[in-house]
Amino acid sequence: MRKEGYQVGRYAVRKMMRRLRLKVTQRQAYKVTTQRKHSDAVADNLLNMNFNPSAANQIWAGDVTYLKTGEGWMYLAVVMDLYSRRIVGWHIDKRMTTDLISKALMKAYNLRQPARGLVFHSDRGSQYTSKQFGKQLSSYGIRASMGDVGACWDNAVVERFFGSLKHDWIFKVAQPTREFMKQDVTAYMKYYNLERLHSANGDLSPVEFENSQLKVSSLA
């Protein structure tokens, strides 16, 4: 509403919600994790809940979520640039394997071409601790970072993204087939990156925020 020129605050929104009989419902957290193999390596927590890097391509975060269709489960892996909250890489498949997260990271790397030294943060799931994924990170010059066991806030920004995807989009329509889910997720990714306003970006979408910072840099 502010972007459209309306002057509104918290109390005005509450008043309008009461008038329209709208209520906020709390999301129920649901996450199934995979256990790493004891032979796989665990990286130090380099993020340490620093969710606001000072520039793009400094810290990326990744995670996997489950999406239910009428034909069975789908698994979505994403890579987010924490600077703008932009999803820079993602991949969806009917199997949750290391290839799932590897393809998401490959897409992010090909899109952004980051300098060596970027930090990639994840949980300690078996896909992220695998030797295959560790080699991929090393080949890209990316440093691995992993959250502590049982620390639900270590990847909170990506978790909130998954919550928005499901509750604001996926759950609002029936998902009869895996192909329908793929198309719906693709539509949300476009909407999220280009249009969805984000409070951490000063009420700009991730792409708008990055473009605004580029303009500021060019004028400096």
Q: 31-219: which CATH number, 3.30.930.10, 3.30.420.10, 3.40.50.300, 3.30.70.2740?
A: 3.30.420.10
Question: Residue 131 corresponds to which tokens in the numbers above?
Answer: 């030797």
Distance CA 167, CA 172 (A): 7
Query: Can you tell me whether residue 70 is helix, strand or coil?
Result: coil
**Domain coordinates in residue numbering, the chain:** 31-219
Q: Determine the pLDDT at residue 148.
A: 76
Average pLDDT, the chain: 87
Choose from 8-22, 43-57, 151-165, 191-205 the range with maximum mean pLDDT.
191-205
Q: Determine the pLDDT at residue 106.
A: 98
Q: Determine the pLDDT at residue 218.
A: 53
- All residues at 6 or more sequence positions from 50 whose CB lies less than 8 Å from its CB, including other chains: 59
Q: Which residue has the tokens 């890489």?
A: 89
Question: Residue 151 corresponds to which tokens in the numbers above?
Answer: 């620390």
Taking alpha carbons only, the member of 35, 32, 14 closest to residue 23 is 14
Q: Is residue 118 predicted with pLDDT exceeding 70?
A: yes
In terms of Cβ atoms closer than 10 Å to its own Cβ (0-12, 13-18, 19+), residue 106 is middle
pLDDT 10s digits, 23-76: 766 555 445 445 545 556 789 988 877 788 999 999 999 999 999 999 999 999
Distance CA 122, CA 120 (A): 7
Distance CA 194, CA 153 (A): 26
* The pTM of the whole model exceeds 0.95: no
CA of 61: how far to CAs of 77, 99, 135, 177, in Å?
A: 11, 17, 17, 28
Q: Determine the pLDDT at residue 149.
A: 66
In terms of Cβ atoms closer than 10 Å to its own Cβ (0-12, 13-18, 19+), residue 161 is buried
Ranking 70-74, 125-129, 215-219 by mean pLDDT, the lowest is 215-219
- Orientation of helix 131-140 relative to helix 98-112, angle to 10°: 10
Distance CA 191, CA 16 (A): 26
Q: Determine the pLDDT at residue 205.
A: 96
